């Protein structure tokens, strides 16, 4: 649970699978790949989904070819849809609700992601001038999550994303402006959306860098200082971050950490946990 400032309430942004209906195992589609061992169309339950809505191979997901499942985080959207929006009645209890429930889950997941980023912005001391705006935006998005199923599926998510992203960008710029020890922020690396797949970045100055939405799949970031680097939306799948300093990286999620390859020397934010597969 993360407490916001001002009037905002405590927001359940942590998944509680025991209160969900296995929505992440049914609603999304995935294709056979390095992340998933099989093809599964949207709306069809994974064959490993149990009668109790739990994963029957949860402890062996990586060994069984499903690492993509281990890095997914609904941020509490699943239980909110199950218990609040649909009042505790599952798609198995009433199959006629299934299509709408699955659509609502996708919307709720995106709203909870926006909430997580806004809440994270309130952690950064340098962003204090924007606290009121961040808090107000979080209250507004939280209010949207409390709507009916019909209201949720008709939300203009593009508009909501644009509004929140503009505020998060201002937050990032404000925090990153003091990241380089007195050196000009304008000289920081601007690689937002860049294709850095497989690149050796071990000698690149990335402190305070803009890496929003960049493709860092398989990139070598070992020993790199990523302090105050903006990693919102960056793809860190199989990125080598052994010994890297991620402790002050901006908007770094647990899912991003889980998808990367680190070790005991990798420094991570105190709010996140060290992935089990980093420990061998």
Residues 73 and 254 sit within 8 Å (Cβ to Cβ): yes
For residue 52, what pLDDT is reported?
95
For residue 280, what pLDDT is reported?
64
Whole-model pTM?
A: 0.90
pLDDT, block means (10 residues), the chain with 280 residues = 44 88 95 92 95 94 91 94 96 96 98 96 95 96 97 97 97 86 57 94 95 97 97 96 97 95 96 88
For residue 279, what pLDDT is reported?
82
For residue 180, what pLDDT is reported?
56
CA-to-CA separations, 107 to 31, 135, 159, in angstroms, rounded: 21, 21, 13
Token pair belonging to 83: 């218990």
Residues 115 and 1 sit within 8 Å (Cβ to Cβ): no
For residue 182, what pLDDT is reported?
47
For residue 6, what pLDDT is reported?
46
73: nearest Cα among 275, 211, 256? 256
For residue 7, what pLDDT is reported?
42
DSSP 8-state class, residue 82: I
For residue 185, what pLDDT is reported?
46
Measured CA to CA, the distance from residue 30 to residue 47 in angstroms comes to 13
For residue 95, what pLDDT is reported?
95
For residue 2, what pLDDT is reported?
40
Per-residue burial over 167-204, b = 16 or more CB atoms within 10 Å of its CB, e = otherwise: bbebbbebbbeebbeeeeeeebbebbebebeebebeee
For residue 238, what pLDDT is reported?
94
Token pair belonging to 159: 């508009």
9: nearest Cα among 130, 123, 127, 119? 119
At what angle are helices 98-121 and 157-176 packed, to 10 degrees?
Answer: 20
Tally of CA atoms within 13 A in the half-sphere of 264 that contains its CB = 2
């Amino acid at each position: 649970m993360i407490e916001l400032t001002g009037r905002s309430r405590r927001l359940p942004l942590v998944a509680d699978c025991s209160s969900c209906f296995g929505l992440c195992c049914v609603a999304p589609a995935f294709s056979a790949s390095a992340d998933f061992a099989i093809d599964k169309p949207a709306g069809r339950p994974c064959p490993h989904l149990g009668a109790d809505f739990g994963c029957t191979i949860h402890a062996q997901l990586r060994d069984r070819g499903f690492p993509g499942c281990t890095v997914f985080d609904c941020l509490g959207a699943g239980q909110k849809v199950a218990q609040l929006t649909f009042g505790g009645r599952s798609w198995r209890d009433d199959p006629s609700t299934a299509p709408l429930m699955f659509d609502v889950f996708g919307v709720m997941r995106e709203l909870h992601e926006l909430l997580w980023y806004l809440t994270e912005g309130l952690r950064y001391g340098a962003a204090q001038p924007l606290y009121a705006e961040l808090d107000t935006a979080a209250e507004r998005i939280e209010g949207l999550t409390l709507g009916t199923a019909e209201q949720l599926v008709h939300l203009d998510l593009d508009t909501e994303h644009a509004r929140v992203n503009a505020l998060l960008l201002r937050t990032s710029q404000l925090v990153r402006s003091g990241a380089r020890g007195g050196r000009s922020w304008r000289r920081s690396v601007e690689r937002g959306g860049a294709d850095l797949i497989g690149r050796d970045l071990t000698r690149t100055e990335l402190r305070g860098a803009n890496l929003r939405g960049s493709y860092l799949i398989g990139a070598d970031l070992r020993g790199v200082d990523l302090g105050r680097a903006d990693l919102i939306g960056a793809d860190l799948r199989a990125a080598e971050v052994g010994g890297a300093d991620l402790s002050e990286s901006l908007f770094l999620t647990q899912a991003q950490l889980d998808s990367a390859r680190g070790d005991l020397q990798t420094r991570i934010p105190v709010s996140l946990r060290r992935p089990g597969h980093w420990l061998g």
